[in-house]
Amino acid sequence: MQTRTLGRNGPEVSAIGLGCMGLSYGYGPATDRSEAIALIRAAVEGGVTFFDTAEAYGPFVNEELLGEALAPFRDRVVIATKFGFAGGEVSRGMDSRPAHIREVTEAALKRLRTDRIDLLYQHRVDPSVPIEDVAGAVKDLIAEGKVGHFGLSEAGAATIRRAHAVQPVAALQSEYSLWWREPEKEIIPTLELGIGLVPFSPLGKGFLTGAISETRTFAADDFRNIVPRFSPEARKANQALVDVLGAIAGAKQATPAQIALAWLLARKPWIVPIPGTTKLHRLRENIGAAAVELSAAEMADIERALSGIEIEGDRYPAHLQARVGR
């Protein structure tokens, strides 16, 4: 697989990474541990070198899963994890105090069975802690060799600039896809400072694959149950986007998911999407997107085809959207 560099001096990673949250958290029951380990190791064998987790995914169990799965390949892969929630629990609110960052990092190193975290993100901006203090805490951990690079997640442009002035930010993780293009307004221009973009939910939480109809039901603990964009009415309206993707994919002898990922890769050379999956055939499909090249003419065709489609529904309920873009 092709590789890309995150940030001006950031880590070199596979063009397609693997978001591991869904193996443990957020999308219904956790995947059987042995099956999850097999999937992660299949990703390594398929050329994936970039793996994303967080203490909050579980909490803690996702990091433990990656630690076990990637131990035999540690020097071949780049592991990203995150701090920022009290006790690792989203429901308890944010905590990015420097002392807490250090505690989380020390615990994550043990769970991940490693001596360094390649990329450490602040999961969400904590309005009670100056971002300069957060960046300074991670800078100290980098100086000690416990962390390789600093990242932010869903931060606003002003916060990114302030953090970057203290400790260079290697990557911003944020939602970005054909059905969520908000980062194009302020975030992507800001990242021209020399910061990579790691889109999570690059397949629209599964919707852009074409596998989620308006009648699909989700497990009781599936996050999508509270996402306005996944109401049956919104899904019905947004099917128009999937239909366009399907037509483009058919002409390209690819799948809608592969076109959605290839579109991201073609936007900037420093964009590295991290689609998640629990299924081996979907993993292979996503990896295959790295070989799908879209020309400038094809990108323009996609733009024209999508220009008349208005996406229905907010991407987050209001209480979660309030944490974004600070």
Where residue 84 falls among pLDDT bands split at 50, 70, 90? very high
Q: What percent of the chain has pLDDT over 70?
A: 100
Q: What is the pLDDT of residue 109?
A: 98
Identify the band that residue 151 occupies on the pLDDT scale cut at 50, 70 and 90.
very high
Between strands 169-175 and 3-5, the pairing is unpaired
Tell me the per-residue pLDDT of 306-326, one tens digit each, with 9 for 90 and over: 998 999 999 989 888 888 988
Percent of the residues in the chain that have a pLDDT greater than 90, as a whole number:
96
Confidence (pTM): 0.97
Which tens digits make up the pLDDT trace of 49-74?
A: 999 999 999 999 999 999 999 999 99
Report the pLDDT value the prediction gives residue 23, as an integer from 0 to 100: 98
Q: Does the structure show a pLDDT above 90 at 259?
A: yes
Cα 11 from chain centre: 16
Strands (E), the chain: 3-5, 12-14, 18-19, 50-52, 78-83, 117-122, 147-153, 169-175, 196-200
pLDDT of residue 206: 95
What rounded mean pLDDT belongs to the chain? 96
Of residues 23, 7, 69, 15, the one with CA closest to residue 193: 7
pLDDT score at 233: 95
Q: What are 28-56's pLDDT values in tens digits?
A: 999 999 999 999 999 999 999 999 999 99
Within a 10 A sphere around the Cβ of 133, how many other Cβ atoms? 14
Q: Evaluate if residue 240 carries a pLDDT over 90.
A: yes
Cα end-to-end distance, the chain, whole Å: 35
- Is 23 within 8 Å of 64 (Cβ atoms)? no
Domains in the chain: ranges and CATH: 3-203+268-292 (3.20.20.100)
Q: What is the DSSP letter of 316?
A: S
Q: Give the model's pLDDT for residue 323.
A: 85
Can you give the C-alpha Rg of the chain in angstroms? 19
Please give the pLDDT value at position 163.
98
Active site amino acids: 57
The predicted structure's pLDDT at residue 322: 86
Question: Rounded to an integer, what distance in angstroms lies between the CA atom of residue 240 and that of residue 309?
Answer: 7
**Per-residue pLDDT, 214:** 93
What pLDDT score does 3 carry?
A: 98
CA–CA distance, 239 with 245 (Å, rounded to integer) = 10
Residue 218 has pLDDT above 90, yes or no: yes
The alpha carbon dihedral of 228, 151, 128, 161 has a sign of negative
Q: What is the pLDDT of residue 319?
A: 86
When pLDDT is averaged across residues 169-185 and rounded to a whole number, the result is 97
